[in-house]
Copies of this chain bind each other. A is one copy, B any other.
Amino acid sequence: MIAFNLHTLKIDNPAMTVSLKSIMTLTTLFFINACGADNSADSVWRALPLKDTVLLTLPHGKVVIELAPQFSPKHVAQFSQLTQQGFYDQTSFYRVIDGFVAQAGPKDGSKEDRSVPLLAMESEWQTDKKWTYTPVQANDLFAEQTGFKDSFALGYQASKDSNFGKAWLTHCPGTVAMARNNEVDSASSHFYVVIGQAPRYLDGIMTIFGRVVYGMQHIQAIQRTEAVEGDYAVDHRDYTKIVTMQLMSDVAKADRIHIEVENTESTKFAERLVKRKAREGAFFYKKPPPVLDVCQIPIRSRRVK
């Protein structure tokens, strides 16, 4: 008993039916695969390119991060370069606040810290009429529209005449972004992963450049550095260290973790959103409001050989 099977998190498993449409779909799929594209409307899964994938090895587990060079090219370039230099190896998660963020980087003010160039903010971009995304929800508390693009959650605001607009990646659990000082263009190497309720008030003023696609439970298990008032202080020697941070393309073949993620541009994904909003099934004896929090839609990952 106690099903509590919120099937919304389970993999959709519709009965197999082969229609003319499916056959046409299949044909298209083969064609598109042959061209190397993988986010057509018919591909449920999208393989992550090894060079845009990071393997973060923690003492207690392995984590995979998908980088977003299409949204934050300079941040990804610098982060990738530092990663390749072994810059993050043996650095600590020195600011870990339960329900908020796990932040890591070199020792504050150290030679390594000061050696890294500052980056210009890459938090939002202009869109034109041709730009597309998968819409999720209108009139979200923090955005006129929310949606997904390339599996990343985003906010969108159209111009008054709808001829163009602006879009920005949004902070959800698992989001990887660069920390900064008070100045807008002051990020360098310190990064954080969101480990609690989406701090969306940071949207548009921080550069998001990746997201955790595997091993998020190990990020959640990182030693907190801030204790509850009145409790025993956390010893800095207990802080969780990064064992190694590597681009997946630099990892020995046998040790690579190959991940495919849900293609948010697919027809199946759009269908899943509709279904999730409707909350069908006997469990929902009373229907919740037909709305979706863009950060409460898990984007599935799978491990492939």
Contacts and interface: CB of A to CB of B under 8 A. Distances in A.
A281 B230 CA distance: 27
Number of copies: 2
A142 B289 contact: yes
Contact of A4 (B3, B192, B201, B282): B192
Given A99-B173, A202-B288, A291-B142, A228 B301 contact: yes
B295 A3 contact: no
Interface in A226-258: 228-231
Given A3-B181, A282-B182, A173 B190 contact: no
Interface in A149-202: 172-174, 179-184, 186, 188, 190, 192, 195-202
Contact of A293 (B99, B200, B291): B200
A221 interface: yes
A78 interface: no
Interface stretch (A34-42, A69-77, A212-220): A212-220
Interface stretch (A23-31, A81-89, A101-109, A265-273): A101-109
A111 to B, nearest CB: 13
A217 to B, nearest CB: 5
B2 A190 contact: yes
B217 A224 contact: yes
A202 to B, nearest CB: 7
A52 interface: no
Q: Size band of the A side of the interface?
A: 35 or more
Nearest to A213: B228
Contact of A288 (B103, B142, B181, B195): B142
B220 A9 contact: no
Given A203-B288, A282-B182, A302-B230, A1 B108 contact: yes
Given A1-B108, A98-B217, A205 B141 contact: no
A95 B220 CA distance: 17
A284 interface: yes
A302 B228 CA distance: 6
A105 B3 CA distance: 12
Contact of A2 (B105, B295, B303): B105
A32 B142 CA distance: 40
A295 B98 CA distance: 14
Interface of A: 1-4, 6, 9, 11, 95, 97-100, 103, 105, 108-109, 113, 137, 139-142, 172-174, 179-184, 186, 188, 190, 192, 195-205, 214, 216-217, 220-221, 224, 228-231, 279, 281-286, 288-289, 291, 293, 295-296, 298, 300-305
13 contacts: A2-B188, A3-B182, A4-B181, A6-B100, A141-B291, A173-B196, A197-B198, A201-B289, A204-B286, A228-B301, A228-B303, A229-B302, A230-B305
